[in-house]
């Protein structure tokens, strides 16, 4: 080993890979801003559509701009008969993240501007993806349950329509607001694994559908987006608040991960958690089922006291989605329906000032050798 070995940052920990004007993650204050606005303020004061506009355009929309954005989104929700056929052919036990990944890839085949990677075309494609992803998620979910798809309703807002296409009904406004808040909180988060994947694909000159397909593949993993599903499975396994502390001790004894806790960047808490917890608590009141939030409270208190590891957004989002009436396998696809906004903003930013992303590795394999003839190999 020479003294000139490069420093290796496993997992790219602490590596600043580029500049970005989309969002700012501030671990020192556990806070997050989108285009300069605190995410918790956006969640309380804006709709998801306003936040999508903000991420893509840098400023919040005027009333007229918002009306036009909503009109375009609502008008692009239908998916093609061919995609409906493809979705019907998916194995019924396919994971919904694999289903939406495949559906987005198929949308790329059909998109009228598929090969056009110019910024105006990418923006139009992003709008089509934002509008169509919920339709495809819902169609795949319903097909897996033997149900017919529900046609999107252009008269409904984005969050209302999501309930409509998945469940066939729109719940009361408090539930829609809680869901909208979750979409805002999930929309964007700096150079996380799926966003960095999207930027890497974009850096090769590939198109938006390719970048988003790859990003969905990255988001599925339980160390990333899949954690919101894992949290609900964990709560269901515990089953009773009285068992939460003993269950957690068992995880400590086995040095096992507790899903929904810890974060690569935030080490002292995640600013999205109090807002999501507040709305998850509201869902518990609306539904009249306090069990999940009570269990969550015990787990969070013990994790912070005993391990100093704080909950991340997936921790309150898991039970919130369950209380809203969504099946667990839909939780990470919901994350996709939201994060398409952040991914597209980063794809546009990467393409506007691109350099191929291509890091180096330090070779640790066998030393160079000659190829033996076939007869000389044992």
Contacting positions for ligand COA (CB under 6 A):
223, 227, 257-264, 309, 312, 314
Q: Cβ distance 224 to 194 under 8 Å?
A: yes
Q: Report in angstroms how near the CB of residue 192 gets to ligand COA at its nearest.
A: 8
Q: Report in angstroms how near the CB of residue 210 gets to ligand COA at its nearest.
A: 25
Q: Report in angstroms how near the CB of residue 124 gets to ligand COA at its nearest.
A: 31
Taking the least distance from each CB to ligand COA, the nearer of 163 and 335 is 335
d(CA 99, CA 101): 5
Taking the least distance from each CB to ligand COA, the nearer of 96 and 260 is 260
Does an H or E element contain 34, and which? strand 31-34
Nearest position to ligand COA, beta carbon:
262
Taking the least distance from each CB to ligand COA, the nearer of 60 and 257 is 257
Q: Cβ distance 53 to 66 under 8 Å?
A: yes
Compute φ and ψ for 103, nearest 5 degrees. -65, -40
What is the full DSSP assignment across 241-260?
A: HHHHHHHHHHHHHTT---TT
Q: Report in angstroms how near the CB of residue 370 gets to ligand COA at its nearest.
A: 41
d(CA 221, CA 227): 8
Q: Active-site residue among 164, 189, 209, 263?
A: 263
Taking the least distance from each CB to ligand COA, the nearer of 109 and 223 is 223
Q: Report in angstroms how near the CB of residue 78 gets to ligand COA at its nearest.
A: 33
Has 263 been annotated as catalytic? yes
Has 98 been annotated as catalytic? no
Give the residue from 55, 63, 59, 306 showing the smallest Cα distance to 188: 55
Q: Active-site residue among 111, 180, 270, 314?
A: 314
Q: Cβ distance 124 to 113 under 8 Å?
A: yes
Q: How far is CA 356 from CA 60, 199, 265, 351, in A?
A: 31, 9, 25, 10
Q: Report in angstroms how near the CB of residue 26 gets to ligand COA at its nearest.
A: 16
Give the residue from 298, 290, 292, 286 showing the smallest Cα distance to 317: 292
Compute φ and ψ for 261, nearest 5 degrees. -120, 150
Q: Cβ distance 32 to 26 under 8 Å?
A: yes
Cα dihedral sign, 99-100-104-107:
positive
Taking the least distance from each CB to ligand COA, the nearer of 117 and 312 is 312
Taking the least distance from each CB to ligand COA, the nearer of 21 and 223 is 223
For residue 93, the SS3 value is coil
* Residues shown for the chain: 378
The catalytic site residues sit at 263, 314
């Amino acid at each position: 080993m020479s003294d000139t070995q490069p420093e290796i940052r496993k997992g790219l920990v602490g590596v600043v890979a580029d500049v970005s004007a989309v969002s700012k993650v501030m671990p020192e204050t556990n806070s997050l801003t989108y285009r300069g606005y605190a995410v918790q303020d956006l969640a309380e004061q804006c709709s998801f559509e306003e936040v999508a506009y903000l991420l893509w355009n840098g400023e919040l929309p005027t009333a007229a701009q918002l009306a036009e954005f909503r009109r375009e989104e609502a008008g692009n929700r239908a998916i093609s008969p061919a995609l409906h056929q493809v979705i019907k052919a998916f194995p019924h036990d396919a994971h919904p993240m694999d289903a939406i990944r495949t559906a987005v890839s198929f949308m790329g085949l059909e998109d009228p501007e598929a090969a056009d990677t110019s910024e105006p075309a990418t923006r139009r494609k992003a709008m089509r993806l934002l509008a169509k992803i919920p339709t495809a998620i819902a169609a795949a979910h319903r097909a897996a349950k033997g149900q017919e798809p529900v046609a999107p309703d252009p008269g409904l807002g984005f969050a209302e329509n999501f309930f409509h296409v998945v469940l066939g009904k729109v719940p009361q406004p408090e539930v829609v607001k809680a869901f909208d808040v979750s979409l805002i909180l999930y929309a964007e988060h700096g150079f996380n694994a799926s966003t960095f994947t999207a930027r890497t694909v974009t850096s090769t000159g590939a198109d938006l559908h390719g970048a988003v397909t790859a990003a969905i593949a990255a988001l599925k993993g339980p160390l990333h987006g899949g954690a919101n599903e894992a949290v609900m499975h964990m709560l269901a396994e515990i089953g009773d608040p009285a068992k939460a502390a003993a269950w957690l001790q068992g995880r400590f004894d086995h040095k096992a991960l507790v899903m929904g806790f810890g974060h690569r960047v935030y080490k002292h808490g995640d600013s999205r958690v109090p807002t999501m917890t507040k709305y998850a608590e509201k869902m518990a009141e609306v539904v009249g089922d306090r069990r999940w939030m009570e269990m969550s409270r015990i787990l969070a208190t013990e994790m912070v006291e005993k391990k100093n590891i704080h909950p991340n957004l997936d921790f309150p989002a898991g039970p919130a989605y369950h209380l809203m009436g969504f099946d667990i396998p839909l939780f990470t696809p919901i994350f996709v329906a939201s994060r398409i906004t952040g991914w597209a903003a980063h794809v546009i930013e990467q393409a506007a000032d691109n350099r191929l992303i291509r890091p180096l590795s330090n070779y640790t394999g066998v030393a160079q050798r000659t190829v033996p003839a076939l007869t000389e190999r044992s």
